[in-house]
Structure 1
Amino acid sequence: MIETKINEGYIVAGIKESDRLTAAVADEVKSELSSIVGGDNGKVVLNLSNIQFIDSTGIGVLISALKTARQNETLFLLCSIQKDVMSLLSLMKLDKVFEIREDESSL
């Protein structure tokens, strides 16, 4: 479900096979993302360019990944966030919690 690549020393993870981060895919995404940020990878970016919708369970997945990253001293960023998803993150004040980049080129 998560595809990774290396860009400028960052592991860039992207959610494939779905344009929604919801309860339907949350367990699989959380498990795979935890493995990535829980390792000694140093810098991880989650590219949300194809995510059109996120629900409360999806928000929980992002917060869990951030918590795991911090426990493992891994930098965790979000990038390429669609307008509607960004509006939700801003409404919940999570734009102040997560480090967010416009896109991968700004790493």
Structure 2
Amino acid sequence: MSININSKLDSQNSFWDINLEGELDVSTADKLKEYLHGLVEQEVVDMKINLSSLEYIDSTGLGVMIGVLKKLRTNDKEIYIINPKSNVKKIFTITGLDKIFKVEG
């Protein structure tokens, strides 16, 4: 199980454009946590996280995203979840996190 993370800062529109590929679970969550917190330290702007290539997410992965969202919200910023696969979107819906995050697609 692995995860690939790519990001770029869209300074014109003021957001991080992030792509996740693979599986986000207990074995990869720390990598994502470190990565996202590093981005927040560089620039506190909204995050658009594209999940179109994410095959799986578990509660540990959701916890990482919630932690980062809390940090962003102290500065009135949001996390947008873009294009999640149906199985990943279902996890957001079942947990009610589709009302916490801005889920698009």
State whether TM-score is above 0.5: yes
Task: State the TM-score, normalized to the length of structure 2.
Answer: 0.82
Query: Contact 1:23 / 1:57 at 8 angstroms: preserved in 2?
Result: yes
- Specify every segment of 5 or more residues in structure 2 that has no aligned partner in the other structure, as ranges: none
- Equivalent residue number for residue 97 of structure 2: 94
RMSD: 1.8
- Equivalent residue number for residue 11 of structure 1: 16
- Please, which of 41, 44, 65 is the counterpart of residue 62 of structure 1? 65
Query: Contact 1:40 / 1:74 at 8 angstroms: preserved in 2?
Result: no
Structure 1 segments of 4+ aligned residues over 4 angstroms from their partners: none
Equivalents in 2 of 1:3, 1:83: separation in Å?
22
Which amino acid counterpart does residue 11 of structure 1 have in structure 2?
Answer: W
- Equivalent residue number for residue 36 of structure 1: 39
- Please, which of 81, 86, 98 is the counterpart of residue 83 of structure 1? 86
- Please, which of 71, 74, 91 is the counterpart of residue 71 of structure 1? 74
Number of residue equivalences: 100
Bigger drift between 7-16 and 72-81 goes to: 7-16
Equivalents in 2 of 1:55, 1:92: separation in Å?
11
1:22 Cα deviation from its structure 2 partner: 0.4
Could you say which structure has the higher strand fraction? 2
- Specify every segment of 5 or more residues in structure 1 that has no aligned partner in the other structure, as ranges: 103-107
1:50 Cα deviation from its structure 2 partner: 0.9
Equivalents in 2 of 1:88, 1:76: separation in Å?
16
